[in-house]
Amino acid sequence: MSLWVVRILFLSLCTLAGFAVSQVQPGLVENSFYGIAIGFGLGGLLIAIDEMLKGFSLRAFSAATFGLMLGSLIAWLIDHSGLFVYVDEPSRWLIRLCLFVSFSYIGMVLAMRSNKEDFSLIIPYVRFASQQAPMSLLVLDTSVIIDGRIAELLESKFIEGTVVIPRFVLKELQLIADSSDAIRRARGRRGLETLGRIRKLTRPEIKIHDGDFPEETTVDAKLIKLCHALGAKLFTNDFNLGKVAELQNVGYLNLNQLASALKTVLLPGESVNLKIVREGKDKGQGVGYMNDGTMVVVNHAAALVGQSIDVQVQSLLQTGAGVIVFADIKAA
């Protein structure tokens, strides 16, 4: 909204400037109406160009400017090389125009297609500066915020770097929290509570990023583009989003995969204290669970439901859903 306020103010100033020129220099403009129309038209044209270039990044603009300057320099050198000394002036003017337009266009296109490594060959300081000031940026998506475990990781200082929360992710959380569906509403409010915990942290640094990509319609596509633009790593619980990010050369971390990798590893012969919560499928079996959710089937423990006992691991069974541990009651 603030951008449109600036545009309206700019358009008003252009219109007022056109009117002022018609009054101060009546020879340039026939009457005040033409001055107002010219000022309004110029302001409208610039606003239209601004709207057309809203997806044009600062890096692309810098690359295009550099390419334009390089192409113009090459055209100037060719023009002054003495190749066209014996060409008549009208023809030379046409040749000069073609040289500058052609080399400027080629320079802009090549510069915009180039990557950072190509620029570092021409301007070594670009690479030197980026190596001297590395920055680790971590972008959070909606699923990982709703999950809530990211707040515990940040509180325990296991994650280093600057945490970036995009503004469009906040808007999506607000929409989920205002949903008419009770389950979605509860998930949204949980996400907002997680954000409240994160914002209270002094370390690591937390930043709200206002960047948006209007040409993209989905939050997932915006997240990947933002990570590309910032050179950041994506934190998500969405398996499909992680794979899409990987295909587009964006680093990501799936907290579900991290939790699976950090599960307690039990080996045959180890002992563990366990609470039996229910009877098993086979006669005499009792079932308990580890803190990470791993199911432990204990032989001859059906009568001990509700009690915490020491058990000894006998074997492990790998299934599609995870690992099932089989154990016996540990002898006193």
**Cα 314 to Cα 44, 263, 274, 298, 305, distances in angstroms:** 78, 18, 15, 9, 20
Percent of the chain with pLDDT over 70: 86
Predicted confidence at residue 132, as pLDDT, reads: 43
User: Under a CB-based contact definition with an 8 Å cutoff, are residues 286 and 298 in contact?
Assistant: yes
More confident residue, 23 or 160: 160
Which of 54-63, 170-179, 206-215, 238-247 is least confident? 54-63
What does the pLDDT average to over 175-183? 89
On the question of pLDDT at 287 being above 60, the answer is yes
CA distance 66 to 72: 10
Give the chain's mean pLDDT: 80
Q: How many other C-beta atoms lie within 10 A of the C-beta of residue 165?
A: 20
Which of 17-31, 46-60, 78-92, 111-125 is least confident? 111-125
DSSP result, 173-216? HHHHHT-SSHHHHHHHHHHHHHHHHHHT--SS-EEEE----TT-
Predicted confidence at residue 121, as pLDDT, reads: 44
**Residue 47 pLDDT level (bands cut at 50, 70, 90):** confident
Range of 95-104, 203-212, 267-276, 315-324 with top mean pLDDT: 267-276
CA distance 323 to 285: 17
Percent of the chain with pLDDT over 90: 2
Predicted confidence at residue 245, as pLDDT, reads: 87
pLDDT tens by residue, 108-126: 777 776 655 455 444 444 4
CA distance 183 to 91: 75
Which of 8-12, 25-29, 242-246 is least confident? 25-29
Judged by DSSP in three states, 138 sits in strand
On the question of pLDDT at 100 being above 50, the answer is yes
Tokens coding 150? 């990211």
What does the pLDDT average to over 51-56? 68
Compute the half-sphere exposure of residue 75: CA atoms within 13 Å on the CB side of its CA. 22
What does the pLDDT average to over 77-99? 79
pTM: 0.48
On the question of pLDDT at 131 being above 60, the answer is no
pLDDT tens by residue, 228-281: 888 888 888 888 888 888 888 888 888 887 777 777 777 888 888 888 999 888
More confident residue, 191 or 105: 191
What does the pLDDT average to over 84-90? 76
Question: Closest by alpha carbon to 11, among 45, 55, 35?
Answer: 45
**Residue 4 pLDDT level (bands cut at 50, 70, 90):** confident
Predicted confidence at residue 24, as pLDDT, reads: 67
What does the pLDDT average to over 161-169? 87
